[in-house]
Structure 1
């Protein structure tokens, strides 16, 4: 496989600053997923001046069975009312209360309204919205859209293995850095690669070409400036012609039916971190752990919100920052998104902890080098990562 020069890591999306205009487009567009909602009309005998707004808490109800296990915590219920003119049904987010907040019954009653309020503030802080009234609709659509294109298992078609896939993803991370693409482009390209490996039959000789095509398509969706086809072929040491690359691109688009949308786990991580008022170092550590999960073939079966939540939980355990009452309350609100999925989160954390412990010594070290710079607070070199599995009850020797 061709090698590329590994450049210095570029500044990534800052949690505490407004993102650039082009970074906001993917999430901002989610607000238009459904048509306009019907305007309120006064009931018979009711004047317009007597209308009172429904409290946000009234929208939260237990509509799914309490026995739901290891599933997504934000369910979505379709109203029995007629659809709108564009055929889009109004859907409500539903918080399932299970057994994750034992001993916090007074706070539990406040969590739904607090989560909605904090979500609106977080999206505004991150610069993902212009109007706060759309924030909850965007968040609901994020939770709903992550259910698309899920994988029943992590098995790869022959002759590919987890090692082969990790080498390819590691090389794509280097190419991504060379072109200074956004982080959304990287996560989308790996997602497209995962789908292609399950839907398109390719041999080992065409695997690198498939990976570059997935990166090229992701860049077309997320970036303003695109590389030339000849540049991509040059990075593959001209092992493939321009015609072969474009032919593979048409094949991928046809097999995927031009459905290239994906809700990145990075979005969930930044939102949860902002809601939980995490420090900058915790956020960088969580981003490092989340990107390491891209190399792990076992992680393709997990939802984006679960991957982000596990990375944030593990980052807090690794850094062990002194807790504050305000910080613990904020973390309780943020973690309510994953109540009931503790078993799934622990499975992901075990995978991420093992990957972090091996990162410095394995051959695929692009992510480790990327997060070892001053701009990322040297989180990949943190000494506690070598013993990260021990924090979860695993011996380091078996990672």
Structure 2
């Protein structure tokens, strides 16, 4: 869980490099990548070794033995739910909501009762609900409130660039990993950051402060133990005071109208994977691709359920696991949850494939390093990621 009392913040900015290779504080990176250079580069002092941290407990403990196939399925006809697995997997792609999100009240009439049962079981197995009686209602609410989590376009305020945003998010990912927060905290923090950048007038000089505040607010909602405010200031090299951090926190809460609700794409991904009986390797690969989407500014225009579905589809394409009849039938059932057309999901998959291909060579490589460990089955180093764009060209 979270710890406090860190002695040297500069050593914490890149936990995966040697002490003499660690980078300068984030303010230097932001000024280097942003269009406005307001500060001179900060001289980096020799940093001490970062404190050891315990390995966080895995959030995905289920290890289904059933494998999946490389077949790309985007839709599922209710009329075909009684067909054989081999037949339903070639059904034409359809929209789950042909009349838009307004038709959610009749969602129970559009999907087979088996899907409802599987969704309820998956939510219960993932510890996302306490009472199974309300599982389906909760799922409907997750699907229906998604529109407020996306944006009409990916435009950032004029003083920021996509590179500036990516550098900030990469730093947040490192701090999140250091504090051993839950994965939901990271997705909520980026969600709050995306909204705050468009609701608040924030200068480049205060961008790192905004990122830390969003992570702090997300931790308050998702975590049981919190770091001290002074410890958060030390992570920012004491560039900002406790008073500045708390004042920015009030500004963010007022701008967001104290609305911290969010259904992260991670929940949809785990839900899909549980229904589709995906293997542990597929799940870790999909989680890696989904976290890469946080760095891509153009992904903010898509719904969480679309990002999760595209990540899982691409993971299956990359791994090319041997199909089984049970796995094929389960995947057809899970595919009926996808919202959006096949071109939309293919577009997201192309974005994720491009991000995965360049993840190891970019400066923002914290996610690549994070998922290259044995605990994550080293999915970020899978050779199939280099040919992901070629695999997708078949469906373009």
Give the Cα–Cα distance (whole angstroms) in 2 for the partners of residues 382 and 138 of structure 1. 36
Matched, 1:261 2:261: yes
Q: Give the Cα–Cα distance (whole angstroms) in 2 for the partners of residues 286 and 180 of structure 1.
A: 21
Q: Give the length in aligned residue pairs.
A: 319
Structure 1 residues 334 and 358 mapped into 2: Cα distance closer, same or farther (>3 Å)? same
Looking at structure 2, the residues matched to 196 and 182 of structure 1 have their Cα atoms a distance apart, in angstroms, of 21
Kindly state the Cα deviation for residue 199 of structure 1 after the two structures are TM-superposed. 0.9
Q: Secondary structure at the match of 1:254?
A: helix
In the alignment, the residues of structure 1 paired with residue 118 and residue 137 of structure 2 have an alpha-carbon distance, to the nearest angstrom, of 14
Q: Which has the higher contact order (CA 8 A, sep 6+)?
A: 2
Q: 1:135 to 1:70 in 2, by over 3 A?
A: closer
Aligned to 1:321: 321
Q: Is the 8 A contact 1:273 1:312 kept in 2?
A: yes
Q: Contact conserved, 2:97 with 2:339, CA < 8 A, in 1?
A: no
The within-5 A match list for 1:1-399 is 4-6=13-15, 10-16=56-62, 75-77=101-103, 91-93=105-107, 112-338=112-338, 340-393=340-393
Tell me how far apart the structure 2 counterparts of residues 164 and 303 of structure 1 sit (CA, whole Å): 23
Q: Which stretches in structure 2 are left out of the alignment for 5+ residues?
A: 1-8, 16-52, 64-77, 79-93
Could you tell me how far apart the structure 2 residues matched to 1:153 and 1:11 are?
36
Q: CA 1:8–1:171 in structure 2 vs 1: closer, same or farther (change >3 Å)?
A: farther
1:72/1:306 CA distance change after superposition, 3 Å:
farther
Task: Report SS of the residue matched to 1:166.
Answer: helix
Structure-2 separation of matches of 1:357 and 1:72: 34
User: Scaled by the length of structure 1, what TM-score is found?
Assistant: 0.76
Deviation of 1:138 (Å):
1.0
CA distance in 2, matches of 1:70, 1:276: 17
Structure 1 residue ranges without an equivalent (≥5): 18-56, 58-67, 79-90, 97-110, 395-399
State the 1:390 CA deviation. 1.1
Cα 1:331–1:15 change in 2 (3 A) is farther
What SS does the aligned partner of 1:160 have? coil
Q: Residue 339 and residue 324 in structure 1: after superposition, are their counterparts in 2 closer, same or farther (change >3 A)? A: farther
- Across the aligned residues of Structure 1 and Structure 2, the Cα RMSD in angstroms comes to 2.3
After superposition, the Cα gap between the structure-2 partners of 1:340 and 1:205, relative to the gap in structure 1 and judged at 3 Å, is closer
SS at match of 2:107: strand
